[in-house]
Structure 1
Amino acid sequence: MGNLFGLSRRRFLQLCVASPLLLTAASACGRKKDFSLGVYQHPGHEAFYISDHFNLLPDNVMLRKSQSAEVIVSAMLAGELDAATLALDEVLTCLAADIPLQVILILSRSCGANVLLSRPELTSAAQLKGKIIALESRAVSELLLEHYLQKSGLQRQDIEVAYLPQLKQLMAWENGQIDAAINTPPVSHYIERTGAKRLFDSSQCPALMFQVLAVRTDRVNLLSDIPALLLNSYYLGLDHLRLFSGDSLRRTAFWRNLTLSETTNYFASVQYPGLAQNIALLSESDALHKAMQQLIRFMPAAAQPKIYSPALFDTAALRQLVLN
Structure 2
Amino acid sequence: MDRSRRRLLAMAALAPLMPLGGCAVPPLTRVGSIVWIGYEPLFLARELGFYDPRRLRLVEMPSNTSSLMLLATGDIEAAALTLDECLLAREGGVDLRAILVFDYSAGADVVMAHPDIRRLDELKGRRIGVEETAASALVLAKLLEHAGLAPHEVEKVRLTSGRQVEAYRGKQVDAVVSWEPFATQLESEGARRLFDSRAIPGLLVDVLAARADALEEAPDNFRELVAGHFKAQEHLQSLPDDALRRMAPRLHLSHADARMALQGIRMLDRAANRDWLGGVSPRLGGAAAELAQTMRPLGLLQRAPDLRDLAEPRFLPGET
Fold match, TM over 0.5?
A: yes
Counterpart Cα distance in 2 of 1:316 and 1:293:
28
27, 32, 53: which one aligns with 1:38: 32
Counterpart of 1:322? 318
Counterpart of 2:9? none
TM superposition score normalised by structure 2 = 0.84
Q: SS of the counterpart of 1:211? A: strand
Counterpart Cα distance in 1 of 2:162 and 2:177:
12
Any conservation in 2 of the 1:139–1:296 contact (CA below 8 Å)?
Answer: no
Change (3 A) 1:47 1:258: same
Any conservation in 1 of the 2:84–2:134 contact (CA below 8 Å)?
Answer: yes
TM superposition score normalised by structure 1 = 0.83
Any conservation in 2 of the 1:129–1:159 contact (CA below 8 Å)?
Answer: yes
1:202 equivalenced with 2:197 (yes/no):
yes
Change (3 A) 1:146 1:116: same
| Deviation by residue 1:204-263 (Cα, 9 ceiling, x = unmatched) | 113110110111111221894333222111101111111111012122222222122211
Q: SS of the counterpart of 1:108? A: strand
Counterpart of 2:42? 48
Structure 1 segments unaligned to the other structure (5+ residues): 1-28
> How big is the shift at 1:296?
4.1
> How big is the shift at 1:299?
4.0
Structure 2 segments unaligned to the other structure (5+ residues): 1-22
Q: SS of the counterpart of 1:312? A: coil
Matches within 5 A, 1:187-226: 187-221=182-216, 224-226=219-221
Change (3 A) 1:249 1:122: same
Counterpart Cα distance in 2 of 1:82 and 1:142:
25
Counterpart Cα distance in 2 of 1:211 and 1:300:
17
Identical residues among aligned pairs (%): 26
> How big is the shift at 1:86?
0.8
Change (3 A) 1:323 1:68: closer
Counterpart of 2:97? 102
201, 222, 228: which one aligns with 1:227: 222
Counterpart Cα distance in 2 of 1:278 and 1:83:
18
| AA of the residue aligned to 1:322 | G
Any conservation in 2 of the 1:97–1:305 contact (CA below 8 Å)?
Answer: no
Higher relative contact order (CA 8 A, sep 6+): 1
Any conservation in 2 of the 1:92–1:305 contact (CA below 8 Å)?
Answer: no
1:65 equivalenced with 2:76 (yes/no):
no
Any conservation in 1 of the 2:71–2:211 contact (CA below 8 Å)?
Answer: no
Counterpart of 2:290? 290
RMSD (CA atoms)? 2.3
